[in-house]
Structure 1
Amino acid sequence: MALDITASGLFPIAPTPFLADGRIDTASVGTLIDRYLAAGATGVTVLGIMGEAPKLEPEESLDIAARFIAGMAGLPVIVGVSAPGFAAMRALARAVMDKGAAGVMIAPVPSLRTDDQIVGYYRQAIEAIGGDIPFVIQDYPLTLSVQMTPKVIRQIVQDHASCMMLKHEDWPGLDKITALRGFQADGSMRPISILTGNGGLFLDFEMERGADGAMTGYAFPEMLADVVRLQKAGDRDAAHDLFDAHLPLLRYEQQQGVGLSTRKYVLMRRGFIASDAQRKPGGALNAPARAEVDYLLARLAKHDPRARV
């Protein structure tokens, strides 16, 4: 299934599960797929920033992508192909598309500073991978330090017919969604899908500003899917009530440096993956942090029984 501008709902960002010795846990890949499907995912994204993609060998990256493509019951699989050089980006992009991926996600390199540099980078990237591959712009200035204005995003969209989606992860970024939907309304930008990241931390209001869904890896994908569904149905209060119950854990997971450790720990506690191991260099929650997360899960379980682990 090729990615197009109608993409919506929940595209979880999948972590890469590892065994304690650093090998990829292929059994947990299968479990993740099953749990994402049960959670109501409408697609999935692999080899993102939280997927520890830079720690993988090229053949490992392709193998993981292929496993998700085979297991997601025909739903679209987006593969992160960001790389320091275009040769590696092209090789992975063409390989995963040959395996049946729906499209690829490209993040800007952190050295870009000016609008012209950003627009030029995406022009060169699409020249490298080919204009026939549907792609997603990843806008994540908090991690990548690249500031994309709405006008720059509009320029990239208008320059490349193969751009189907924006992964919106700016902070604060609600006005950016409004600006982009305004461009669409006035005809100065063609429609695209907008899915949001940032761990889901602002999903409640992002949906109200015009987002089509979520593309992030919070350890309760069911909550993300429910909030998207409730907002689309116009049940604002129910969406916010559910979101608010999860907010303490969302906030904890958003901490720089321990966010992935927290996410993997909760996913392990919930049975999505067998181990919370990260491939080196990587960390793990210490005993006090694990106790804090366990406390947050116990409190959340009073409002959402899915947190009973």
Structure 2
Amino acid sequence: MNTINRLSMLFLAGSLFAACSSEDQLIPSHFDVNVFAASGQDSVLQHNFFESVGSYLLFKDTLSREVVGIDKDGNTLYHYETVDIGYSLTGLSNNRYSYKYLQTLEDKKAAAEFLENRIMPAMREDIRPYSVLAVEQTEESVLKWGEWNKSNIDFFAGYRCMAISLKGIAQMDEAQQVQLAERLLAGIVTQKITSLGIRDLGAFYENSDKYYGELRRDYPEVKDEKEVGFLSSGSYLFPDRQTDLKDYLNAYFSVTEEEFLQKYKDYLVICIKYNLLKDLIKQVGYTVER
């Protein structure tokens, strides 16, 4: 073997040794670990929920805690991964969210049962949230004019997680749980429908399109706004599209379908718009019979 070949083989062996040595120093990424999966003392409850509805159930916004080192004083340093419900594919919400957690096993069991039986069945499987954070209270802080304005909210639908406030759920009787479920679903569906564009809502709007935001005095032939499909109207202006949609959504979740159609049976356009809204709610994946 000549000198050049020997040098080449030594160089190759050295490169392989260096490569193996470098691989030995690699730190696992843990990307193969599903931090949403059930673990800890609530794992059986969480696992059963996932098997039943296909969404992960969380009782804290902390997904994982990993030791990353020790500081100069000897204290252990941790890396925390949390659910940021303000996260979206296009960025982060400027709002802040904090929680008061459910404390007892009784509360957690009641929350899981409530969500499994009263909330998730109203959502088509393909639109159910990836995970549900069941808490006692969700506080939203909104920055306005340089100050943080805080308020408690029923729910927040984020990209990876939907947080739902269930304060006192274990102490609620049947009627109270029904009322809470109706309020939550009304909020969730209303948020979804009002976020739709004109392409999806066009059929609903076209029935009254001529009159949106117009002066009533310009249409003296319209004596009653209900004749042209409005549930309410000001004295001078017909409602705009957003107000009209909001009025119908409020009505949809306030009374039964039978009550609504009986009340407005003499107003064809109103009945048409109500049925279009009902069909649209089903199309986007919700089953909320009235």
Per the TM superposition, whether the score is higher than 0.5 is no
What interval of TM-score do these two structures reach, taking the shorter chain for normalisation? under 0.3
Normalized against structure 1, the TM-score is what?
A: 0.23
Q: Which has the higher helix share?
A: 1
TM-score (norm 2): 0.24
Q: Which has the higher strand share?
A: 2
**Which structure: larger Rg?**
2
